[in-house]
Homo-oligomer: A and B are copies of this chain.
Amino acid sequence: MAGAAVGIVNVTGYIGVELARLLLEHPEVRLVSITGRSAAGKRLGDVFPHLAGSDLTIETELAPVDLAFVALPHGESAAAVAALLERGVRVVDVGADFRLKDVAEYEKWYRVTHPAPEYVAEAVYGLVELNREQVAGARLVASPGCYPTGAVLALAPAVKAGLVEPDIVVDSKSGVSGAGRTLTLPTHYAEANETISAYALDGHRHLPEMLQALRGLAPGTELSLTFVPHLTPMTRGILTSCYAKLKDGKVSAGERAREEVTGVYRDFYRGERFVRVAATSPQTGQTRGTNLCLVYPTVDLRTGRLIVVSCIDNLVKGGAGQAVQAMNLMLGFPEETGLKSAAVFP
């Protein structure tokens, strides 16, 4: 569907504007309409000078498009998505409303009544590496949250292969852009700079999403997973460190354990364009601006514990980039179309 017309609902957040950057440079689609509330009527390039090359104006209502990205807060995206689907528009929702299959679980974690539960069953969870075929045929894709992207890609091969005990610790470190563009004291420069903190220690909304995705890989397993995110003084990037004991007898003893685990990961991600099993401990900076997820599995030989580190750019693979990756499949383009740029390093 070359030349497809696409649009963005709520372009003014960091995921929204990153979608605009990627879609304006995408060789196969035309970004024809963008909406926003406070900024309606303004030129995109005036609100975001790095996109001054575009002539788009921010509108209040989306013009007709073949496919729309919805970048609204949870509780708001569902209604917008429903309206678009009813107009026959295919949708990639980068918000949270259609990620969880269990509506009660959604309502417990997000503390809102689901505005459009009738579309939940149909929505395809857009972690392409796990759901490639379903995404390609989907009318509605629920694009994953930033933390689940890094955590699930780090753990999926081990969980699928049954390598680890179900007791898992996921310790994530996110750049401040992950908290969005809304002004808050913790994201005020002088408060966030030169300091690191753990947050959401009572439970983060991305936890049930991780559990749902991992359970899908190991049906019947009861996972006991603790997830703690940390606000890290950098703009972009999520590094996720995962810890779980290896099951007895699943891998050899000694150094060979590392090779075997790495082999499981390489097999799992063979042929993937956007997941790379790294040969050495990766850094978030190596993914800046890209749709890559770097995954590095190793074994703590003293304790028999699997350690997996993953790195993504939270706004690209953890946001706008994988939404475009899903769109590519939905519209029949090669999966990497418009997503080939290397990281801007240093």
Contact = CB atoms under 8 A, between A and B. Distances in A.
What is the interface residue range for chain A against chain B?
Answer: 35 or more
A163 to B, nearest CB: 16
Contacts of A341: 25, 341
Contact of A183 (B183, B199, B235, B346): B183
Contacts of A241: 171, 198, 228, 230
A226 B345 contact: no
Interface in A298-346: 298, 300, 302-305, 307, 309, 311, 340-346
A192 interface: yes
A343 B50 contact: yes
Contacts of A243: 169, 171, 226, 228, 243
A203 interface: yes
A193 interface: yes
Contacts of A245: 167
Contacts of A224: 302-305
Interface string A175-194: 11100010111011111111
A235, A282, A311: which has the most chain B beta carbons within 10 Å?
Answer: A235
Contacts of A21: 342, 344-345
Given A226-B300, A346-B14, A283 B232 contact: no
A195 B294 CA distance: 13
Contact of A187 (B51, B53, B189): B189
Chief secondary structure at chain A's binding surface: mixed
A95 interface: no
Nearest to A187: B189
Contacts of A307: 198, 201, 226, 228
B226 A190 contact: no
A198 B245 CA distance: 19
Contact of A195 (B184, B234, B290): B234
Given A226-B305, A243-B226, A344-B344, A188 B183 contact: yes
Contacts of A196: 173, 232, 234, 237, 239, 283-284
A249 interface: no
17 contacts: A17-B345, A21-B345, A25-B341, A50-B345, A167-B245, A187-B190, A189-B189, A189-B192, A193-B234, A196-B237, A196-B283, A198-B281, A202-B298, A203-B302, A224-B303, A224-B305, A226-B307
Given A173-B230, A190-B235, A201-B309, 20 more contacts: A21-B344, A25-B342, A50-B343, A53-B342, A171-B171, A181-B185, A181-B190, A188-B188, A189-B192, A193-B234, A194-B236, A197-B311, A198-B281, A199-B281, A226-B302, A226-B305, A228-B307, A243-B243, A288-B344, A344-B344
Interface of A: 14, 17, 21, 24-25, 46, 48-53, 167, 169, 171, 173, 175-177, 181, 183-185, 187-199, 201-203, 207, 224-226, 228, 230, 232-237, 239, 241, 243, 245, 276, 278-290, 294, 296, 298, 300, 302-305, 307, 309, 311, 340-346
